[in-house]
A and B are shown apart, each in its own frame.
Chain A
Amino acid sequence: MLRPGGTLSSAGVYSSDLTIPLGPFAAGLADLRIVTTLCPGGKERMRRLMAVVASGRVDLKPLVTHRFRLDDIEAAYELFSYQRDGVLKLAITP
C-alpha cells in the first residue's frame, strides 16, 4: 500500500499484537514510516481547532446525526453501540 518513503499514520486503537508483512515492508529497506497518534489536547490545540471551525474551512456539524437528553443516555448508548439509524455522532444535552 505504501510507496517507498511513504508513511502509515494510524489513529487506531489496537487490542492484539500487530505483525508487519515482510514483502510490502520491503524487508525494512524502503524508508517507510509508521506513526501512531492519540488525541492532542490542551488549550492551544483547542484554539487552533476552533479557528478552523470559525474560518468555515471545515464544517463538521453534519456529523451530529442524533440528539438525546442526559436522562435518556442509556437509549443513546444503545443506538450508538449497535450503530443504528445511520448514526455518526450524537449530541447529549442536559
Chain B
Amino acid sequence: MRVTTTIICGTDGHILKGEYPVRRGLTIGHEPVGMIERLGSAVQSFQEDQHVIAGAITPSEYSAACPCGCLSQNGGGTKHGFQAIGGWKFGNTIDGCQAEYVLVPDAMANLAPIPDGLTDEEVLMCPDIMSTGFSGAESGEIRIGDTVAVFAQGPIGLCATAGAKLKGATTIIAAENVLARMAMSRRLGADHVVDFRAVDPLCA
C-alpha cells in the first residue's frame, strides 16, 4: 500500500517512551489509508491504485482465534491457534505505516476497499479508533433502551459514546473534564456530560 494518510495513536507514544517495547528500528504506526501500489501473487479481485484501508489489527482469518470471532486476536503459530494480542502486527511485530509504503499481511483477509466518494479523513478512524470504541459498546452488548455511562471522552471514549448511541442506548452519560471533549461528546450522542473535576461521576 502507498500510504496517503495515517495517524498517531496513543499506543505509538507508549512505544516511543519505551513503555511498550518493540524491536529497535521497527517502523511504527498501525492505521493505514492509501492506494494499492503492488499486488502480491496471491491477491485476487483488487487492482493497483485502488483506494483501500487495512485495520490496525490484521488477523490471518485462518488461525483458530479468527473463526471463533476473536478478530483482535490470532494464532501466532501456536499449537492451539490462539495468541493474546496476536492480531496486532503493524508497528508491533512487522513494519507499520508511518511511512511512504506498508506491506499488508494476509491481504485477502485485510484489504478493504473504501466506498466511492469517501475521503481519506472520513475513513481515517476506521482502522483503530472507531473499531476499538465501537467494540467497547458491542462487547457490552448494549440493548435498545439501555442506560450507559462512558468514562473519559478521548478519541476512543468518544467513539464508544457514538457506538452506544448506534446500539440503541437511550440515556448516555459521559464523564470528561476537557471542555472541547465535553462538547464533542454531546455532538456524538451523550445526553449528559459530567465534569469529573466538579463532581464525583459515580454520585452524579
Contact B131 A54 (CB under 8 A): no
Main secondary structure of the interface of A (DSSP, over half): mixed
Nearest Cβ on chain A to B3's Cβ, whole angstroms: 7
Q: 9 tightest CB-CB pairs across the interface, nearest first?
A: A41-B55, A41-B57, A9-B140, A46-B112, A38-B72, A11-B136, A40-B71, A39-B132, A49-B126
- Contact residue range for chain B? 35 or more
Contact of A40 with B140 in the complex, beta carbons under 8 Å: no
The residues of B with any CB-CB pair to A shorter than 8 Å are 3-8, 11-13, 16-17, 19, 29, 53-59, 61, 66, 71-73, 85, 87-88, 98-100, 109-112, 114-115, 117-118, 120-141, 149, 154-160, 162, 166, 178, 180-181, 184, 187-188, 202
Could you say which residues of chain B place their CB within 8 Å of the CB of A39?
55-57, 72, 88, 128, 131-132, 135
- 15 more contacts with CB within 8 A, not counting A1-B149, A40-B57, A63-B155, are A11-B136, A35-B139, A38-B88, A39-B56, A40-B71, A42-B61, A42-B110, A43-B111, A46-B54, A63-B125, A64-B121, A80-B13, A89-B124, A90-B7, A93-B120
Q: Is there an interface contact between B135 and A40, defined as CB atoms closer than 8 Å? A: yes
In the assembled complex, the Cα of A42 lies from the Cα of B88 at a distance in Å of 11
CB distance from B100 to the nearest CB of A (A): 6
| Chain A hits for B54, CB < 8 A | 41, 46
Q: Is B98 in contact with A92, judged by CB distance below 8 angstroms? A: yes
Q: Give complex CA distance A58, B7 in Å.
A: 19
- Which of B8, B73, B129 lies at the interface centre, i.e. has the most chain A CB atoms within 10 A of its CB? B8
- Known A11-B136, A39-B72, A86-B180; contact A50-B55, beta-carbon cutoff 8 A: no
Across the interface, A60 reaches (CB within 8 A) one of B4, B85, B114, B125, namely B125
User: Which residues from chain A contact B115 at a C-beta distance below 8 Å?
Assistant: 50-51, 54
A16 within 8 A of B: no
Using A41-B57, A41-B59, A94-B4 as known contacts, say yes or no to A53 and B123 having CB atoms under 8 A apart.
yes
Q: What are the residues of chain B within 8 A of A9 when measuring CB–CB?
A: 136-137, 139-140
A13 (CB) vs chain B CBs: closest residue: B11
B100 with A45: CB separation less than 8 A: no
A49 to B160 CA separation, bound complex (whole angstroms):
13
Q: Which residue of A lies closest to B72 (CB)?
A: A38
Residue of A nearest to B8 (CB): A80
Return the contact of B16 from the options A11, A63, A77 (Cβ within 8 A): A77
Chain B residue contacts of A47, Cβ below 8 A: 112
